[in-house]
Structures are given as structure tokens and as C-alpha cells.
Amino acid sequence: MSSSMNTVGRPTAPTEVDPIHGFQSLTGGRGLLQDEPLIFEMDGWDKTGVDVPDADLDASDLGALVRRDPIGLPGLSEPETMRHYVRLSQKNHAIDLALYPLGSCTMKHNPRLNEKMARLPGFSDIHPLQPQSTVQGALALMDRLAHWLKTLTGMPAVALSPKAGAHGELCGLLAIHAAHDAKGDHARRVVLVPTSAHGTNPATAAFVGYSVREIAQTADGRVDLQDLKAKLGPDVAAIMVTNPNTCGLFERDIVEIARLTHEAGAYFYCDGANFNAIVGRVRPGDLGVDAMHINLHKTFSTPHGGGGPGAGPVVLSEALAPFAPTPWVVSHEDGFRLVEFEEGEAVQSFGRMNAFHGQMGMYVRALTYMMSHGSDGLRQVAEDAVLNANYIKARLSDVMSPAFPDGPCMHEALFDDRWLEGTGITTLDFAKAMIDEGFHPMTMYFPLVVHGAMLIEPTETESRIELDRFIEALRALAGAARAGEVDRFKGAPYLAPMRRLDETQAARQPRLSWKAREGSNLAAE
């Protein structure tokens, strides 16, 4: 099999190496791990797992609108369904199984109380458009969440409706766009973004028609103030800075960055993906931020769910608050009310970003989490997250190469691949070998400013014993790498449900849905 590399030097196809032990079962299963077919391969074309009475009226009134051709959707009985999904679930890593140190992703424990509260019928079984008099508790909850977010960030306003972090970035930039427009300033077409930024930052700026200008980074991993000064100008609408940044470092000059930005007539957007490192200890409002999204699925522990749903409320400064998207909740003498249209108090709003009122299910979970911790618990969250990351950094620095060895990191520890030089082992190989040791790999090859980056975020919900177990595993792997045990890395993972997957083939000949094999007589083909 050929091997190829993408632009950041990450191999995209596996290298062939023999398995450690040649034993094969006769059926392809691996003990408790069964090979599980797709639902389309289980002969369920005429089955269903629901018992529904026949309709007592037909659809003759719809004539030619009725769908006549087969749709091709198999059904499964309930026991088959349960087994299918439980078998599939066992092929996933999860935070409930072991440390999940994806830097910048904040994989922390998801309390089940949050799930229980979100499922109270008073929250889960209410319609977004039923009369507001019948949902006063839901509006009160949104109002209380808004109060917590504003207090924790020291900001005067919050837009709750954005559906995830990137959607929050969009919200912030649209508010900034509207604010410049309101001043009659249409010349600002550039957004400044540091080279270390999340991909969503430049993508969002470009998405709404801005061109992106990159700002250089200093040798100690922070925004280069000289370069910032050089690139600020009357064409700059905003700067987007992540703080703590994606190298896991606090931007020491953040107040100066804000001052320079404002002086140039631009606004300061802060990517709040890493707010968990400072919650309860630092208020972004004190740093000069104009807008910042908060990933409720990171800092406030709503579950990641294999890729969402998230929620990305955006706190706003006085300057941007009038332009916030609709809807929002206001309180009046008889209770709470939604402001849903761009009129009256919302006349300057930039408009609606999505149907209805945002991610209510996530609001309930996040508020449950906040109330459980309280102001003191949340401060402890930040402190323990930072302590855990520094502990990992301290205990691995003699065997791996920290990208920024001097001074403390915040909630995540960044290593580069200098320490692998000459071993023939890449960051990817090392990450895959971690899987065999029972851990999810760290974020790799990000941020782009560090070669072969390995970004480790343990979060505050890891015990010291689990941290030590993780550290010992990485130290052992580092030893094996130095000792030249190349096969252990190149062929990894050996013990996962699957061996390394061929991403190159997947992209060259995309198969994005199931198709019956030639000559098969399966329905609907």
C-alpha cells in the first residue's frame, strides 16, 4: 500500500506491518467485539420494529403526490436494533472509559444529572412556538443562564441562539459587521487572525466575505505585537484571538492587543473555546473583549455526542450588544417575554441566525452544571484544569519536547516532534500507539505553528491516579520509541477494533452511502 502525506506532513494511508500476533478467529469477530453489518445488510426490507395501527383514512386525496416507488429503508425488530447499536457502541472510545486528552476539545466528565434535567417533560416536551404564557419556566431558565454567563465573563449582554462554537463566531462577526455598518464605515474588509488560530476562525471570516490577514507569532507562542501594529489599519474590521491560545498559553499582552485594536477602530473577537482554563478566575470583560463565544459543550460540559449537538452563546460588549441576533428573553412585570423581531428594542439587531430560540436542551444541561459547581466550584474547575495540564507537562518534559518549555501552560500542554527526530516515528505513529495502551490520542498536527504538534488537554475531571497511569504509559512509549521499536508504532494500533484506516482511498473513490453489490436482489436497488 502506498503512503502519502498531506500538507502538514501527516500520513494519510497506513503502512503495512504484520500484526503482533497472527491469531485469527474463524468468523472475523474479536471476542466481545463482533463484526457488525450495516442495517442495509440485515435483510430487513420488509420488517419494522414499531407496532402502529393501520390508518383509518386513506391518502386518495393526494393523487399523484403520493410516493409510489420503493424508498429502500430497512427496518429491524427491537431486539435486533438494541444489539446492533450496543455492538457498534463498543467500538467507540469515550470519556467514560478513559482519559480523552484531545487538546482544544475539552473532553471532561459529563454529569448524568444534566441529562436527567434536560429530559424533564417541562423542558424536553415543550414546543418553541406554544404560547409564551405556557413556557415561563423555560424563559426563566434562559434568563438565568444568561445571567450566569454575563456574570462569569463580566460582559453586559449575551446572545444565546448560536448553535455551536463556529456558529458563535459567525454571530460575533455579523454583530461586528453590523456595528461598522451602523457607523457608515464600509471600508473594513479584513479580519486579523493569528497563525495559531482554530480553522474555524479564518473559515468564519471568509464565510461572511472578509479577507483574512495572518498575524505572526513570537518565539514564546504569543501574538507578535509588532506584527499586529503593522497589520492594523483602517481596513481592519476585527481581530480574532483565542485566549488562552491554541498553544495552551495565556496571551500576556491581551489588554494591549485590545487597546491597539480599539485604537485602530476595530473590534476584538475572542475565541472562547478555552474559557474553561480561566472560568471564575478571569473575566474576559476585564480584558477588553467585544465578543466571545462560549462552547457550552466544552467549558460547561454538555456532552460531545460523537460530534454535537453543541451550543455557542456569545457574550457582547456595550458597543456590540444592540446588534445581537434575535430572539432574546426580556423580563417584565408579569414574567418573561421573547423579543423575536427586529423592531422596537431590537431595531438594530442583525437578524435571526436560525429557526426558534437556540439549543434549549444544552441550556438546561449547562445551567445544571453551573449551579452544581457554583462560583467557588467553577473557580476550582479552572485551577484543577491548569494544574493537571502543568503536571503532565512537568512529568513528560524530560522524555518529550515541550514546544514552550519556559513558564507554565494553562489547561493544555503542547509538545512538538523534535524528540522523535531520528527514530523514524511520526506524531501520527505515536498517537496510534497510544490507542493500544488504552488512551485516546491527543490532538495532533494542531496548532499548525508547531511541527508535528501534540496537544494534551487532560481537563479537571481526571484523578491523580488516572493522570499518573497516562503519564507512565506515555513515558513507556517514549522509551520504546527511543529504543527503536519502530514496528510498535508504524503498525499501531494493533489492539483496537480496527487497524489503521486508509484515508487516501476513502477520498479518491468516495463511497458515501451504502449500495447493494452487483447482481444482488436486495430491495430498492
Partner 1 sequence: MRYLPLTADDRRSMLSAIGAKSIDDLFVDVPLSARRDGVVDLPKVMGELEVERELSALAARNKPAGSVPFFCGAGAYRHHVPATVDHVIQRSEFLTSYTPYQPEIAQGTLQVLFEFQTQVARLTGMEVANASMYDGSTAAAEAVLMASRVTRRTRAVLSPGLHPHYVHSIETLAHATSIQTERLRPAVDAEADVIEAIDANTACVVVQTPNVFGTATDVTRIAEAVHAAGALLIVVTTEVMSLGLLKSPGEMGADIVAAEGQSIGNALNFGGPYVGLFAAREKLTRQMPGRLCGETVDAEGRRGFVLTLSTREQHIRRDKATSNICTNSGLCALAFNIHMSLLGEKGLRKVAAVNHAQARKTRDALAAVPGVEVLTPRFFNEIAVRLPRPAEQVVQVLADHNIIAGVPFSRLDPEAGMDDVLLVAATEIVTDHDIKLLAMALSKVLSA
387-426 residues near partner 1, rule: CB under 8 A? 387-388, 390-391, 393-395, 407-408, 410
CB 431 within 8 A of CB 425: no
Strands 236-242 and 190-194, bridge-based pairing: parallel
Nearer Cβ to partner 1, position 483 or 501?
501
377-415: buried (b, 16+ CB within 10 Å) or exposed (e) per residue? Answer: ebbbbbbbbbbbbbbbbebbeebbbbbbeeeebbbbbbb
The three-state (H, E, C) secondary structure of 322-335, written as one string? HHCCECEEEEECCE
Q: How far is the CB of 369 from partner 1 (least distance, A)?
A: 8
Applying CB under 8 A, the span of 314-322, 374-382, 417-425, 478-486 interacting with partner 1 comes to 374-382
CB 497 within 8 A of CB 30: yes
Applying CB under 8 A, the span of 30-38, 224-232, 414-422, 473-481 interacting with partner 1 comes to 30-38
Q: Within 13 Å, how many C-alpha atoms sit on residue 438's CB side?
A: 10
Q: How far is the CB of 273 from partner 1 (least distance, A)?
A: 10
* Binding of partner 1 by 483 (CB under 8 A): no
465-499: buried (b, 16+ CB within 10 Å) or exposed (e) per residue? Answer: eebebbbebbeebbebbeeeeeebbbbbbbebbeb
**CA dihedral angle for residue 22, residue 435, residue 398, residue 446, rounded to 10 degrees:** 130
Which residues between 434 and 463 bind partner 1 (CB under 8 A)?
435, 440-441, 446, 460-463
Applying CB under 8 A, the span of 261-269, 316-324, 377-385, 474-482 interacting with partner 1 comes to 377-385
Applying CB under 8 A, the span of 259-267, 275-283, 413-421, 478-486 interacting with partner 1 comes to 275-283
DSSP conformational letter for 269: E
Residue from 359, 401, 423, 427 binding partner 1 (CB under 8 A): 359
Residue from 4, 5, 226, 252 binding partner 1 (CB under 8 A): 252
Residue from 156, 309, 475, 522 binding partner 1 (CB under 8 A): 309
Count of residues that bind partner 1 according to CB under 8 A:
215
Residue from 25, 26, 31, 46 binding partner 1 (CB under 8 A): 46
CB 111 within 8 A of CB 369: yes
Residue from 9, 29, 374, 484 binding partner 1 (CB under 8 A): 374
Q: How far is the CB of 191 from partner 1 (least distance, A)?
A: 9
Residue from 4, 5, 9, 134 binding partner 1 (CB under 8 A): 134
Which residues between 326 and 355 bind partner 1 (CB under 8 A)?
340-341, 350-355
Q: Which of 12, 30, 18, 27 is nearest to 496 (CA)?
A: 30
Q: How far is the CB of 524 from partner 1 (least distance, A)?
A: 7
386 DSSP β-pair partners = none
Strands 454-456 and 328-332, bridge-based pairing: unpaired
Q: How far is the CB of 230 from partner 1 (least distance, A)?
A: 20
Q: How far is the CB of 479 from partner 1 (least distance, A)?
A: 20
Applying CB under 8 A, the span of 96-104, 264-272, 412-420, 450-458 interacting with partner 1 comes to 96-104
Nearer Cβ to partner 1, position 88 or 230?
88
Q: How far is the CB of 333 from partner 1 (least distance, A)?
A: 17
Q: How far is the CB of 82 from partner 1 (least distance, A)?
A: 6
> Which string of x and - marks every residue 103-122 that binds partner 1 (by CB under 8 A)?
--x-x-xxx-x-xxx-xxxx
Distances (CA, A) of 365 to 109, 150, 160, 248: 13, 17, 14, 26
CB 175 within 8 A of CB 346: no
Nearer Cβ to partner 1, position 266 or 304?
304
Could you identify the residue written with the cell 479518491?
508
All residues at 6 or more sequence positions from 452 whose CB lies less than 8 Å from its CB, including other chains: 9, 416, 417, 420, 426, 427, 444, 445
Q: Which cell numbers in the block locate residue 342?
A: 427586529
**CA dihedral angle for residue 393, residue 395, residue 398, residue 403, rounded to 10 degrees:** 0
Residue from 20, 29, 91, 472 binding partner 1 (CB under 8 A): 91
Which residues between 487 and 516 bind partner 1 (CB under 8 A)?
491, 493, 496-503, 505-507, 510-514
Residue from 172, 272, 280, 458 binding partner 1 (CB under 8 A): 280
Which residues between 167 and 226 bind partner 1 (CB under 8 A)?
167, 169-170, 174, 177, 198-200, 202-209, 211-212
Q: How far is the CB of 17 from partner 1 (least distance, A)?
A: 7
All residues at 6 or more sequence positions from 176 whose CB lies less than 8 Å from its CB, including other chains: 237, 238, 267, 269, 290, 291, 320
Strands 443-444 and 328-332, bridge-based pairing: unpaired
Q: Rounded to a whole number, what is the distance in angstroms from the first to the last CA of the chain?
A: 32
Q: How far is the CB of 336 from partner 1 (least distance, A)?
A: 10
278 DSSP β-pair partners = none
